[in-house]
Structure 1
Amino acid sequence: MNLPDRLLLITDRRAARLPLLAVLQTALEAGCRWILVREKDLPAPARAALITDVLALAQPFGATVSVSYTQDQPQLWPGTGWHLPADVPVASVRARYPTHLIGASTHSRAEAEAAAHGGADYVTFSPVFPSLSKPGYGDKHGLERLQALAGSLSIPVVALGGITPDNAAACLAAGAQAVAVMGAVMGASNLDEVVHVVTQARHALAGRSARSGEEH
């Protein structure tokens, strides 16, 4: 399937140095077209209010909004897609939402294959590089494992973990169909830096996509 965009921006309000909605608005203006609202620690009412606000921001840009699944908010928010943690079986959610965009977090080949078999539209695979938002989290997979997975999986792989404008294109070269960024944007100290990260990442991804087209 075609993903909403080659760049997925994942929210983390606790890591954000600036107001989250201002960061997202600026990222959308810079070209971001796919946002994943994470914020799994928020109480359901506050999370619902945030999702409503993000949808309102995204709508004028035609951007896609995905939402991380939580047990206290098991109903899919209208106009969004689901992103599932590795411990939630994809098949049970797919049965309830046959036409919605459903992704899954994975950290190994076995998890990725199980998600694909269950009906996921895509998986995130992490951490590819040392995580910017979670230093010391997990053993980095590197481009070699990313390439091996992307080359064999039946659905798109989104590279996650330590993604920056400098390594985004390398992930596409390794077979990922998109990259996910969180720390590089959430950790920005000003809105100009948000614009820089998003635009530079998009340029890197677009350049790689263009070269791939020429090669074929």
Structure 2
Amino acid sequence: MNIREALRLYFVMGSTNCIQDPVFVLEQAIQGGVTLFQFREKGEGALVGEERVQFAKKLQVVCKIHKVPFIVNDDLELAIKLDADGVHIGQEDGNIDSVRRRIGNKLLGVSCHNLEEARQAIENGADYIGVGPMYPTLSKLDTRDVVGPELIAQLRQASISIPLVGIGGITAENARHVMRAGADGVAIISAISKMESPQVAAKNLNGSSLY
């Protein structure tokens, strides 16, 4: 897997983020150009237990059919159970080094909000870093203060060469600013998942916005 290419249009979604059937939304998003999918089933009304596992499996099948990497947010046990392609964790989601040891050479992403966290993540084995929030967002209610594309530029200036993905409030209108700051890709939730046509939304993001 070429990580930088896989991260270009990174779709994050769970059942609580959709206004249409999530399986349909994912299929449409991939047809529109999504290059990696993160299963993130959180928030009010999120599925739990076996229902959550079965839902994740349905989305994983879609990803396998289209050869799109499927990674799991903040649930190491589920990722291992499903033999997912990787895991993404936040700063409060456990020890990075421990997660790396348990998943072996699978993809490991870590959310970082400053240079110190980024350096620590790299030291402990992260394959890529999620940087954000880029802009204000309502998709995640547990976000920190907006850092903007400026933080990505600062990380690059500090010789952070690991792949970086901007996340938080990114749209087709502002994605280019994130990429120009030095990101390898953008992570999108509602700008795809809550659109009437996820395919068109993904195509718009995957067009001139990312180049």
Q: Structures share a fold, TM > 0.5?
A: yes
Is 2:107 the partner of 1:105? Answer: no
Aligned to 1:182: 189
Structural RMSD (CA): 2.1
d(CA) in 2 for partners of 1:136 and 1:63?
A: 27
Deviations 1:81-130 (A, max 9, x none): 11112122211111122211111122232222211111000111110111
d(CA) in 2 for partners of 1:150 and 1:132?
A: 27
Superposed, 1:55-66 pairs within 5 Å as 55-66=60-71
Alpha-carbon shift at residue 71 of structure 1 (Å): 6.6
Is 2:154 the partner of 1:148? Answer: yes
Identity within the alignment, %: 26
Is 2:206 the partner of 1:199? Answer: no
What one-letter code is carried by the residue in structure 2 that aligns with 1:161? G
The change in CA–CA distance for 1:135 and 1:21 in structure 2 (over 3 A counts) is same
Alpha-carbon shift at residue 136 of structure 1 (Å): 9.3
The change in CA–CA distance for 1:187 and 1:74 in structure 2 (over 3 A counts) is closer
Alpha-carbon shift at residue 184 of structure 1 (Å): 0.9
What one-letter code is carried by the residue in structure 2 that aligns with 1:42? L
Corresponding residue to 1:22 among 20, 24, 30: 24
d(CA) in 2 for partners of 1:177 and 1:201?
A: 14
Corresponding residue to 1:54 among 53, 59, 62: 59
- Give aligned pairs, total: 204
Alpha-carbon shift at residue 22 of structure 1 (Å): 1.1
Is 2:91 the partner of 1:86? Answer: yes
Alpha-carbon shift at residue 181 of structure 1 (Å): 0.3
Superposed, 1:101-140 pairs within 5 Å as 101-134=107-140, 137-140=143-146
Q: Is the 8 A contact 1:116 1:154 kept in 2?
A: no
Aligned to 1:211: none
Counterpart secondary structure, 1:91: helix
The change in CA–CA distance for 1:73 and 1:172 in structure 2 (over 3 A counts) is same
Q: Is the 8 A contact 2:9 2:33 kept in 1?
A: no
TM-score normalised to the size of structure 2? 0.87
The change in CA–CA distance for 1:136 and 1:90 in structure 2 (over 3 A counts) is closer
Deviations 1:155-208 (A, max 9, x none): 1110001111111122111001111000211222x2x2x1222001111255x2
Aligned to 2:82: 77
Alpha-carbon shift at residue 45 of structure 1 (Å): 1.8
Q: Is the 8 A contact 2:79 2:87 kept in 1?
A: no
The change in CA–CA distance for 1:151 and 1:178 in structure 2 (over 3 A counts) is farther
Counterpart secondary structure, 1:82: strand
d(CA) in 1 for partners of 2:87 and 2:143?
A: 24
Counterpart secondary structure, 1:130: coil
d(CA) in 1 for partners of 2:63 and 2:79?
A: 22
**Runs of 5+ unmatched residues, structure 1:** 209-216
**Runs of 5+ unmatched residues, structure 2:** none
